[in-house]
Amino acid sequence: MPDLLLISDLHLGSHLKPRMRGEWVHLAGRIEETFPRFMEHYRNHGSWQLVINGDFIDFWNVELPGRDSGERLAIRRLHAVLDAHPAVEDALARFLEAGHGIVFVTGNHDAELLYPGVRTALVERLEGALARAPDPVDVTRTGRVRLAELTPGRVRFVRWFLREEGGAWIEHGHKFDPTCATPASMSPTRDGTLVQTVAEVATRSFTNVMPEIDYDAPDKFSTVDYIRWALARGWRFVLRVILLYLRMVGRILALWAGPGRVDSAGHQQHEEHLARVAANAGLQMSTLMALEKMAPPPSATTVAGLVKVTALDHVLAVVLPMLLGLLGVVRGWWPWWIGAFGAVACVAAGLAVVRKGRRKRDIADDMLRVAASVGEVTGAPLVLMGHSHRGTVERSGSVVYANSGSWLDGSHLVVRRDPESGRLFRVELRRWRNGGVVRVQDMDVPQTRDTGEG
């Protein structure tokens, strides 16, 4: 069996939107230069199963004209991204032609891979570019989740995870991030269209029309950071930010209030897919159910989650005391100075309470804890994820957790096999730098008995 090469979070296409900043356009051009050299290096050195562990294509940030929606729009976005990155597409096709396999693990930014038409289009572009005649495109290529069953020289897809008994558990990791998760995640549809996450609505409603800010600012900015960022650009800009913020909040609340955010057919399909995945993976259904229960509720399904993610708790803590103080002055309930002093005191107290009850978002640290629990539940000694954009190799108890980081800074993972036993025995975090590989961290994979088999 081949060694594993894992990359994630390239976010191809994130520059395909109006008024995009110049550095992101430059980054897209840089990917066209560096990614083919990276792929050529590994194509010519060893036998590999390439795992693209989520967020390879950034469907969230691709804005196209027209009135298409759902699967049709997703297919157009896919073609637009690949047309903008011909060298990346060619590098993947050459990797396949050399006999290496490629499997796409669904992430939060590329959940559109759940659409059969998107998978078909991607396979046709990659395998169709090969000199040999490809097999007929099979859009059901999402059933195999065991690494040993992946076909060399072919493209495969998985909805949630890959596994190897007693070896590794691989998933993007966004299911454990409330802002990026949806209920019934293996078939999150409503009237045939994917249900948006809170993070996607925020991206499309705010970040995509605010090119002055990074697309991943929500992972780094606090409420105070947003205020400082807006004030530094003047009051006219502040007004624009407020209007966009109110529009974003309205759309997020509409998402929460929508009847049956995932329709009954979507829930049924989710359960059917879950049962098939459990059978194909050799897992008890109870194991997958336990993993689903480990994940916090998606932000779109709870009032508390929506209030926190939109910072409405901060807004209400400021606005309500001020309105009450002003109302008291207008109605003559108290003098203006008492109203002003009381409003300021209430605002200060309210903000203190809100900030005390809010834990700073640290997705990388959260994922380390989650990975340890995933390894314990599934019996996998090695858990591999992406999503956090921070490459790392760490050990928690009997579980080794490795994150491929974001390929935008060259981060990737290599997992080696013992040539005699075929067992995964060592994981390495590497970076692609100036046409070569730098080893950043490495760790042996402990031997353990896989307890997740059915």
Q: Note the pLDDT tens digit of each residue in 317-366.
A: 888 888 888 888 888 888 888 888 888 888 888 878 777 766 666 677 78
Domain that holds residue 348: 196-257+302-356
Q: Is the pLDDT of residue 423 over 50?
A: yes
Least confident of 143-147, 255-259, 323-327: 255-259
Which is more confident, 224 or 64?
64
Distance CA 6, CA 42 (A): 11
Residue 33 lies in a domain: yes
Q: Is the pLDDT of residue 167 over 80?
A: yes
Q: What is the mean pLDDT of the chain?
A: 85
Helices (H), ranges, 258-335:
264-281, 285-294, 303-309, 312-331
Q: Are residues 307 and 288 in the same domain?
A: no
Q: Are residues 244 and 270 in the same domain?
A: no
Which is more confident, 392 or 245?
392
**pLDDT value at residue 215:** 59
Tokens of 200: 């996607």
Q: Is the pLDDT of residue 253 over 50?
A: yes
- CATH number, domain with residue 165: 3.60.21.10
Distance CA 137, CA 122 (A): 10
**pLDDT value at residue 216:** 62
Residue 126 lies in a domain: yes
Q: Computed over its alpha carbons, how large is the radius of gyration of the chain?
A: 24
pLDDT digits (tens, 9 = 90+) for 26-77: 677 789 999 999 999 999 999 999 999 999 999 998 888 888 888 999 999 9
Q: Is the pLDDT of residue 307 over 80?
A: no
Residue 449 lies in a domain: no
Q: Is the pLDDT of residue 171 over 90?
A: yes
Q: Are residues 388 and 346 in the same domain?
A: no
Q: Are residues 306 and 408 in the same domain?
A: no
Confidence of residue 418 (pLDDT cuts 50, 70, 90): very high
Q: Are residues 295 and 316 in the same domain?
A: no
Residue 215 lies in a domain: yes
Mean pLDDT, to the nearest integer, of 208-236? Answer: 75
Least confident of 5-14, 28-37, 221-230, 443-452: 443-452
Q: Are residues 158 and 243 in the same domain?
A: no
Q: Are residues 207 and 69 in the same domain?
A: no
Tokens of 167: 């070896």
pLDDT digits (tens, 9 = 90+) for 94-123: 999 999 999 999 999 999 999 999 999 999
Q: Is the pLDDT of residue 451 over 50?
A: no
Confidence of residue 139 (pLDDT cuts 50, 70, 90): very low
Which is more confident, 300 or 406?
406
Q: What is the total count of domains within the chain? A: 2
**pLDDT value at residue 140:** 44
Distance CA 311, CA 254 (A): 16
Which is more confident, 123 or 135?
123
Which is more confident, 306 or 417?
417
Mean pLDDT, to the nearest integer, of 441-449? Answer: 84
Residue 205 lies in a domain: yes
Sequence-separated contacts (24+) of 224-232 with Cβ below 8 Å: 226/311
Confidence of residue 386 (pLDDT cuts 50, 70, 90): very high
The phi and psi torsions of 207 (rounded to 5 degrees) equal -65, -40
Distance CA 119, CA 379 (A): 31
- Percentage of residues of the chain with pLDDT beyond 90: 38
Distance CA 446, CA 413 (A): 17
CA distances (Å), 408 to each of 28, 32, 35, 101, in order? 10, 11, 9, 22
Asked if 328 and 190 count as a contact pair (C-beta separation under 8 A), the reply is: no
Least confident of 98-107, 139-148, 392-401, 413-422: 139-148
Q: Are residues 72 and 132 in the same domain?
A: yes
Which is more confident, 223 or 336?
336
316, 335, 356: which is the final residue of a domain? 356
Q: Are residues 89 and 103 in the same domain?
A: yes
